[in-house]
Amino acid sequence: MRILVTGGAGYIGTELVRKLAQRTDIEEIVILDNLSRGLYNMFLCHHFGKNNIRFVQGDILDTRTIRKLVKKMDVVYHLAAMIPSPYTEVDPHLIEQTNLWGTAELTYAVEDSDVKKFVHISSISVYGSSGSGAITENTALNPRTNYGISKMRGESFVAQLIPKLDTYIVRCGNIYGYSPSMRFDAVINRFAFEANFHKRISIHGTGKQIRSFIHVDRLSQVLSELPFHPAIPGGIYNLVDHNRSVMDIALTMKEIYPAMEMIFINQQLRMRNLKVEPHSALRHFFSLEQTDFKQELEDLIQQFSFHP
């Protein structure tokens, strides 16, 4: 079995490849990444234990490379995406090029190949916000950001594959937890860094806004098993661990760092909620160990090189 992972040098990709490398039924894992985020950490400091992993530096928009790689694959994971930081401006055209047209070109290549399984990583941002109840896969899409819009439109191309091959669209919550390639613009990871090295955290708005989260270990575990699980039908699935307000995360962090300060930025702003039902259909197929949230934060902090 041969597997392609687009965006495989990123936050999710590093942990996914680590788990796939443990399987004995995989002949080759090919990582495609343009390294646009400067993430070289997956290539350092640890060994995957196998010699069946190959890296190709290339872009999801390079149709020729994509078609050449996909032609030889049995399973394709599509993780490559342009993900803007929450409080920085990114050219909407660049987001659309990668998340929409890059995804479209990949699906065209898959459609013309012998690929048997396709796993597309999407985002709960396609829902926009939630009302009084929790979001499910049946909730209407209403993205509020350029990123959310691009992911929604990209999904529309992937969905066309569902009747033709085993295709899974996985809408992930906000990801947190240690990885050599982790992102520090994600709220929980950012709080951990700020608390440890600055002894203060920055909270945008009142902190009452609710978000849905999933630990990178549980996400990568599900993804590594998903296309090999015979009982899971193709379709669209949400995948989150829990829902928490930003203030709840901050207060848990303060239990670990009692002297930590909280600085509120634009406290008058009303931030939208995005709360997703954790017990989605996909989780029924997996036995996932749920650890204590505070312990998870402490484990993350222990990965830092020093603690001033």
Query: What b/e string do you get for 252-262 counting C-beta neighbours within 10 Å, with b at 16 or more?
Result: bbbeebeebeb
What pLDDT tens digit does each residue of the chain (308 aa) get?
999 999 999 999 999 999 999 999 999 999 999 998 888 888 986 788 778 999 999 999 999 999 999 999 999 999 999 987 765 556 788 889 999 999 999 999 999 999 999 999 999 999 999 877 899 999 999 999 999 999 999 999 999 999 999 999 999 999 999 999 999 999 999 999 999 999 999 999 999 999 999 999 999 999 999 999 999 999 999 999 999 999 999 999 999 999 999 999 999 888 899 999 998 889 889 887 778 999 999 999 999 999 99
Contact present, 253 and 201 (Cβ < 8 Å): yes
Strand order from edge to edge, sheet including 117-123 = 53-57, 28-33, 2-6, 75-78, 117-123, 166-172, 235-239
Can you say how many angstroms the Cα of residue 141 is from the centroid of all Cα atoms in its chain?
19
- Sign (positive or negative) of CA dihedral 221, 224, 230, 235: positive
Q: Tokens 């691009």 appear where?
A: 150
User: Could you give the CA distance from residue 75 to residue 34 in angstroms, rounded to a whole number?
Assistant: 20
Residue 295: both structure tokens together: 């312990």
Q: Catalytic pick from 11, 147, 237, 257?
A: 147
Selection from 13, 18, 23 nearest residue 56 by Cα? 13
Q: What stretch of H or E contains 3?
A: strand 2-6
Contact present, 212 and 275 (Cβ < 8 Å): yes
Selection from 116, 89, 138 nearest residue 3 by Cα? 116
User: Could you give the CA distance from residue 117 to residue 74 in angstroms, rounded to a whole number?
Assistant: 7
Write down all domains in the chain, each with its CATH number in brackets. 2-175+213-239 (3.40.50.720), 178-212+242-275+289-301 (3.90.25.10)
Contact present, 16 and 5 (Cβ < 8 Å): yes
* Sequence-ordered strand ranges (E) for 79-156: 117-123
pLDDT at 13: 96
pLDDT at 44: 87
Q: To 10 degrees, what angle do helices 63-70 and 103-111 make?
A: 40
User: Could you give the CA distance from residue 296 to residue 187 in angstroms, rounded to a whole number?
Assistant: 14
Radius of gyration of the chain (CA): 19
Whether 147 sits among the annotated catalytic residues: the reply is yes
pLDDT at 300: 97
Contact present, 219 and 172 (Cβ < 8 Å): yes
User: Could you give the CA distance from residue 277 to residue 264 in angstroms, rounded to a whole number?
Assistant: 28
